Amino acid sequence: MFSSSHFKGGDTLLYGEDISHSFDYTLFKNITLSLSKKEKIAILGISGSGKSSLLHILSTLLKPNSGKVFIEGRDIYALKSSELLKLRRYYIGIIFQAHYLFNGFSAYENIELSQILTNSKIDENLLKLLRIEDILEKKVTELSGGQQQRVSIARVLTKNPKIIFADEPTGNLDRVTAYDVMDAIFEYIEDKSAGLFLVTHDENLAKRCDKIYRLEDEKLKAL
Ligand SMILES: Nc1ncnc2c1ncn2[C@@H]1O[C@H](COP(=O)(O)OP(=O)(O)O)[C@@H](O)[C@H]1O
Ligand SMILES: [Mg+2]
C-alpha cells in the first residue's frame, strides 16, 4: 500500500501502484514501480506489449483501469483536471518519436514558446549539446527530421520538467545523432536531479540506464 513515506526525504519522483490496464486484451496487471531523482529507467518489450500505454498512464495522459500513480505524493488521477494540467505543464516532459512543432515558426520560436508558457530560461548549453545552436533561425519545414526531433527535445527540456517520459525518442535518428541526443537527455537528468522513463528497443541504450524492465506476459519484469 502506498504511504507518504515514499516521498519523504524527497527522493521519489513517481510511484505507480498496482497498475492494470486492458484495451481489446489485457496489456498488463499489477505493475508497481517507482522512480527516484537522477534515476533512469528503461522499458523494453515487443511491439504491442503495452509500453506506450504504460508510459501514457505514468505521464498523466491515460487513467488506468485500476491502480494509482503518485507524483509529488499526489494521486494524479484523483486531481481536478486543472491541477492535472498544471502538473503536466510544469512537472512533466513528454518526448515522443513523432515531434510536435509549429511549422510556421522558426526553431527558436518553437523553443521560446515553451519558455514563455512555463516562465523558464532557454539554456544555451542545452542548445549546444543538442547541436542546434546554428539552425535556430530556420523554419521548422527547412530542418531535417533529426534536427526537428532535436528542436522538439530542446523545447521539452526548456520547461525544466522533473520527470521525462521518452517513447522511442531516437527511433528516427541515425546512430551518431541518436547517441548525442541521449547524451543530452542523460546529462539533463543528472544536472537537474530529474528522472527518466525511456521506452526503447535499443538494448545498448537500455544498458546505460539504472534499471531495465521488460514488459512481457502482462508483467513488468526486472532484468
Ligand atoms: N487508445 C487505444 N484504444 C484501443 N486500443 C489501444 C489504444 N492504445 C493502444 N491500444 C492497443 O493496445 C496494444 C498495446 O499498444 P501500445 O501500448 O502502443 O504498445 P507498444 O508501445 O508496446 O507497441 C495494441 O494492441 C494497441 O492497438
Ligand atoms: Mg509504442
| pLDDT attached to residue 11 | 93
Alpha-carbon span 14 to 165, nearest angstrom: 12
- Which residue's C-alpha comes closest to atom 6 of ligand 1? 23
The closest ligand to the CA of 96 turns out to be: 2
Tell me what pLDDT residue 99 has. 72
CA distance 19 to 64: 7
Choosing from 28, 53, 58, 167 the residue with most ligand 1 atoms within 8 A of its CB, the one to mutate for a pocket test is 53
Find the residues whose C-beta lies inside 6 A of ligand 1: 23, 27, 45, 47-53
| Kind and range of the H or E run holding 158 | helix 145-158
Q: Evaluate whether 16 touches 68 at the Cβ level (below 8 Å).
A: yes
Q: What is d(CA 74, CA 70) in angstroms, rounded to the nearest whole number?
A: 5
- Residue 166: name the closest of 13, 56, 77 by CA: 56
How many independent structural domains does the chain possess? 1
Nearest-angstrom CA–CA distance, 130 and 126: 6
pLDDT of the residue at 2: 58
Give the pLDDT of residue 132: 93
* Domain that includes residue 188, residue range: 4-222
Ligand 2 centroid from CA 199, angstroms: 8
pTM of the predicted model, to two decimals? 0.93
pLDDT < 70: residue spans in the chain: 1-6, 8-9
Contact between 212 and 206 under an 8 Å Cβ cutoff? The reply is yes
pLDDT at 83: 96
Rounded Cα distance between 117 and 96, Å, is 20
| pLDDT of res. 1 | 53
Q: Which atom of ligand 1 is nearest to the CA of 56?
A: 17
CATH code assigned at 142: 3.40.50.300
